[in-house]
Chain A
Amino acid sequence: MRALPSRIFLPFGLVMASMLTFGCGAGSNGGASQSSQNGNNPVSNVQTITVNAGPASVYVDGAFTSVTVCVPGSTANCQTIGGILIDTGSSGLRILSSALTISLPQQTNPSGSPIAECAAFADGITWGPVQTADVKMAGEQASSLPIQVIGSANFSNIPGNCTAQGVPMDDLANLGANGLLGVGQAIQDCGSACTTSGQGVYFACPSSGCTDTPESLVLQVQNPVASFATDNNGVIIELPAVSGGEASVSGSLIFGIGTQSNNGLGGATVFGTDPFGDFSTTYKSTAYLSFLDSGSNGIFFLDSTTTGMPVCASLNFLYCPASAQTISVVNNAQAGTNGASAPASFPVGNGLTLVSTNNTAINGLAGPFPGLIDFGLPFFFGRNVFTAFDGKSTPGGTGPYLAY
């Protein structure tokens, strides 16, 4: 892919050729530069996403896509599954057992015991076996990727030290999606902590029952995009601006940052984050922990005392200001990173009114969460949001970072 344009531009001289190559985003510093392809067409790196009610027909402000999973090495034994929620707040692909019709190989430890996982989220846990799949989106593929299958009948006994971490989200009613596509800054869903036992995340499950086990980094459930052969240094979520509410909107999940002509940073501001995507946001002169999480269906921030907005009478997890508000904040890179700082604003409407329509794409949906700022999907409307993966090189610097 890189060789052919260079040959074309050779008459203009090597300098011009290298400039043009760089202009195409094919710079050798890109994390995705180790292209395995030899053709002259770049891999298709655009996956359509849709904000709609999702497979449970209940969702508001969730971005869904479809993912194709195959038995590793097979092109016939595959399934394309829709209704997968895109989640920049986590890493790894998780699919409900009830949505999976093909049989994937089970990951086992050297003793032959199957490996299962307890993944902890803010609002609950997902429990189920770690299995292996070739994962395909657009023209990209992650080969032999560990994924989690949630709610498998063969793993119905959830260990006590898993339910200790939250209420299970093991079916469509509780998850609201057929699965989660975790494309956050982290490469693995646990990381180095889980290479020692006692974390309550990975379990070996012989017939006698499941016990906590260490799990090496390569075997952990991990960010599928980071395992792509190309365009693997980050993602962009592009959604149109939404004024008030719309029945549904469509956008794109673009793979890679600065690796092709369609995924350059342009004028986006890069904010360094910690390895899990956390940074800092200032509101009314006070700095709070913050993060961008497309898997949160509103902007959840602070409390009524701090914001001056009451929560809704019957829905204490949403704000219900008497009139629409515009909240102004300053986003700051995580301390010790690139020092970036830039203002941002977002609307907050009456939550009760907003969710009483048939709209599924709603700008202005927000609620409280004391002490932090969770920029959920509404913050993504009208912004192209870049998520650069931990340790991956991009034209905007080495991840982890976010940019918009």
Chain B
Amino acid sequence: MKIRMALAMTIAVTALAPCFPAGASLGGDMTSVRDDQVKMQGTLRTTSIDSYNVHEIQTPGGVVVREYVSLSGSVFGVAWQGRSHPDLHQVLGAYYDQYVQAVQAQRAQRHGRGPVLIEQPGLVVQMGGHMGSLTGRAFIPQSLPVGMRREEIR
């Protein structure tokens, strides 16, 4: 179901793959993580780009989660948009505690409320929007495939 085009960074194929297992935790291995699609009771659409795959899960609650997976099967980025944030325990995996500490550190220096903008050498987490319309993304910057721009995780 995956067709490679000669030109890099162009969408090669979009296919409905309702039983395809989706990687979940940042930094995790696709073969070792739970099936998010089942957990979220959503529909899955897989898009293959030249250097990575995107697993897009649409939940019944109206949240779209996109998981970015390298060709070797490693999850390096997750983006979302919808009524709620996704399960950040699941999405961030081993990075969850680092995220909590970074959020608390940022609150201490920001003079009020605004979006979360965590930028650390090994972890980027951005959470914005407002009640009822939330968006965000998390990725491991050094794990992006060569030539991929961070703006592509969205």
Contacts and interface: CB of A to CB of B under 8 A. Distances in A.
Q: Which 4 A-B pairs have the closest CB atoms?
A: A297-B112, A89-B130, A276-B132, A90-B131
A371 interface: yes
Contacts of A193: 61-62, 83
Given A90-B130, A91-B131, A184-B131, A120 B85 contact: yes
Nearest to A315: B109
Contact of B111 (A85, A184, A297): A297
Interface in A31-63: 54, 58-62
Contacts, number: 158
Contact of A297 (B84, B85, B104, B113): B113
A122 B134 contact: yes
Nearest to A200: B84
Given A122-B129, A293-B130, A370 B151 contact: yes
A368 B131 contact: no
B88 interface: yes
A198 B100 CA distance: 24
A376 interface: yes
B154 interface: yes
A122 B132 contact: no
A147 interface: no
Interface stretch (B42-50, B64-72, B114-122): B114-122
A22 interface: no
Contacts of B117: 316-317, 367-369
Nearest to B150: A370
A236 to B, nearest CB: 19
B115 A300 contact: yes
A124 B131 contact: no
B88 A165 contact: yes
Prevailing SS type, chain A contact patch: loop
Given A164-B90, A166-B85, A276-B133, A374 B112 contact: no
A369 B154 CA distance: 12
Contacts of A376: 114
A186 B84 contact: no
Given A90-B131, A184-B131, A370 B112 contact: no
Contacts of B112: 54, 58-62, 176, 297-298
Interface of B: 61-62, 83-85, 87-90, 99-100, 103-104, 106-107, 109-117, 119, 126-135, 137, 151, 154
Contacts of A200: 84
Given A276-B133, A297-B114, A370-B151, A199 B128 contact: no
A191 B62 CA distance: 13
B113 A296 contact: yes
| Among A293, A305, A317, residue most surrounded by chain B Cβ atoms (within 10 Å) | A317
A160 B114 contact: no
Contacts of A166: 85, 88, 103, 127
A317 B110 contact: yes
A278 interface: yes
A376 B111 CA distance: 13
A188 B123 CA distance: 35
Contacts of A186: 131-132
A123 B115 contact: yes
Contacts of A370: 126, 137, 151, 154
Contacts of A303: 151
A159 to B, nearest CB: 11
A295 B89 contact: no
